[in-house]
Structure 1
Amino acid sequence: MSGSSVRASRRGVPNGADHLNLSPILSQPERGRLFPASLEGIFLAHAAVAPITGPAHEAITAWSREAAAGRQESDPIWRRVAGARAVASRFLGCEAEEISLLGPTALGLGLVALGLDWKEGDEVVYDPLDYPANVYPWRELGARGVRAVPIRREPGEPIRWETVRPALSSRTRLVSLATAHYLSGHQPELAVIGPELKKKNILLCLDGIQTLGVLPASFADADFLAADSHKWMLGPFGAGVLMVRKPLLGSWNVTSPDFLAQQEMVFESGGRRYEPGSLNLPGIEGMRASLELLENIGRREVAERALALAGQVRAGARRAGLEIYGGNGEDRVITSLLEPPGGWGDLGRKMEAAKITVTWRREHGGRTLLRVAPHAYNLEGEIAEFLGMLPGG
Structure 2
Amino acid sequence: MDTFENLVRAEFTPKTTYLNTASNGLLPARAVAALHEAVLLRAEGRSLTSLYEDVEACRAAYARLAGVPVTRVALGASVAAHTGLIAASLPAGAEVLTAEGDFTSVLNPFHVRGDLKVRAVPLERIVESVRPGTALVAVSAAQSADGRIVDLPALREAARAHGARTYVDFSQSAGWLPTDAGVHDFSAAVSYKWLLGPHGAAFLVVPEDFGGLSPILAGWVAGQEPWDSCYGPVAELARSAQRFDLSPALFSYAGLRRSLELIEELGVTAIGAHDLALADRFRAGLAALGREPLPAPGSAIVSVPGLGFRQGELADAGVQVSARSGSLRAAFHLYNTPADVDRLLDVLAG
State TM-score, norm by structure 1: 0.81
Counterparts of 1:59-208 in structure 2 under 5 Å?
A: 59-71=34-46, 73-74=48-49, 76-114=50-88, 116=89, 118-142=90-114, 145-151=115-121, 153=122, 158-159=123-124, 163-170=126-133, 172-208=134-170
Distance (whole Å) between structure 2 residues aligned to residue 127 and residue 377 of structure 1: 31
Does 2:209 match 1:247? yes
One-letter amino acid of the counterpart of residue 320, structure 1: L
Q: Which residue of 1 aligns with 2:244?
A: 274
- What do you get for the CA RMSD once the two structures are aligned? 2.1
Q: Which residue of 2 aligns with 1:308?
A: 277
Distance (whole Å) between structure 2 residues aligned to residue 265 and residue 198 of structure 1: 36
1:354 deviation in Å?
2.4
One-letter amino acid of the counterpart of residue 110, structure 2: W
Q: Which residue of 2 aligns with 1:16?
A: none
One-letter amino acid of the counterpart of residue 215, structure 2: V
The partner residue of 1:257 within 218, 222, 243 is 218
The structure richer in helix per residue is: 2
One-letter amino acid of the counterpart of residue 25, structure 2: A
Q: Which runs of 5+ in 1 are unaligned?
A: 1-8, 10-19, 363-367
Does 2:287 match 1:318? yes
**Contact 1:85 / 1:96 at 8 angstroms: preserved in 2?**
yes
Superposition misfits of 4+ residues, deviation over 6 angstroms: none
**Contact 1:190 / 1:218 at 8 angstroms: preserved in 2?**
no
1:193 deviation in Å?
1.1
Q: Which residue of 1 aligns with 2:4?
A: 22
SS in 1 for 2:174: coil
One-letter amino acid of the counterpart of residue 116, structure 2: V
Distance (whole Å) between structure 2 residues aligned to residue 339 and residue 100 of structure 1: 40
- Of 329-338 and 259-268, the range deviating more from structure 2: 259-268
Q: Which residue of 2 aligns with 1:351?
A: 314
Q: Which residue of 1 aligns with 2:182?
A: 220
Question: In the superposition, relative to structure 1, how do residues 264 and 285 fare at CA in structure 2: closer, same or farther (>3 Å)?
Answer: closer
**Contact 1:178 / 1:188 at 8 angstroms: preserved in 2?**
yes
Length, aligned pairs only? 341
One-letter amino acid of the counterpart of residue 270, structure 2: E
One-letter amino acid of the counterpart of residue 76, structure 2: L
Summarize deviations over 1:288-318 as a string: whole Å, max 9, x none: 2111101101111101000111111111111
Q: Which residue of 2 aligns with 1:15?
A: none
1:264 deviation in Å?
5.8
Identity of aligned residues (%): 25
Distance (whole Å) between structure 1 residues aligned to residue 144 and residue 103 of structure 2: 7
Question: In the superposition, relative to structure 1, how do residues 318 and 337 fare at CA in structure 2: closer, same or farther (>3 Å)?
Answer: same
1:78 deviation in Å?
2.7
**Contact 1:175 / 1:205 at 8 angstroms: preserved in 2?**
yes
Distance (whole Å) between structure 2 residues aligned to residue 22 and residue 168 of structure 1: 45
**Contact 2:190 / 2:202 at 8 angstroms: preserved in 1?**
yes
Counterparts of 1:50-65 in structure 2 under 5 Å?
A: 50-65=25-40
Question: In the superposition, relative to structure 1, how do residues 124 and 349 fare at CA in structure 2: closer, same or farther (>3 Å)?
Answer: closer
Q: Which residue of 1 aligns with 2:303?
A: 336
Distance (whole Å) between structure 2 residues aligned to residue 52 and residue 318 of structure 1: 32
**Contact 2:142 / 2:150 at 8 angstroms: preserved in 1?**
yes
One-letter amino acid of the counterpart of residue 91, structure 1: L
SS in 2 for 1:137: helix
Distance (whole Å) between structure 2 residues aligned to residue 386 and residue 119 of structure 1: 49
1:349 deviation in Å?
4.0
Distance (whole Å) between structure 2 residues aligned to residue 263 and residue 348 of structure 1: 51
Question: In the superposition, relative to structure 1, how do residues 349 and 125 fare at CA in structure 2: closer, same or farther (>3 Å)?
Answer: closer
1:34 deviation in Å?
0.6
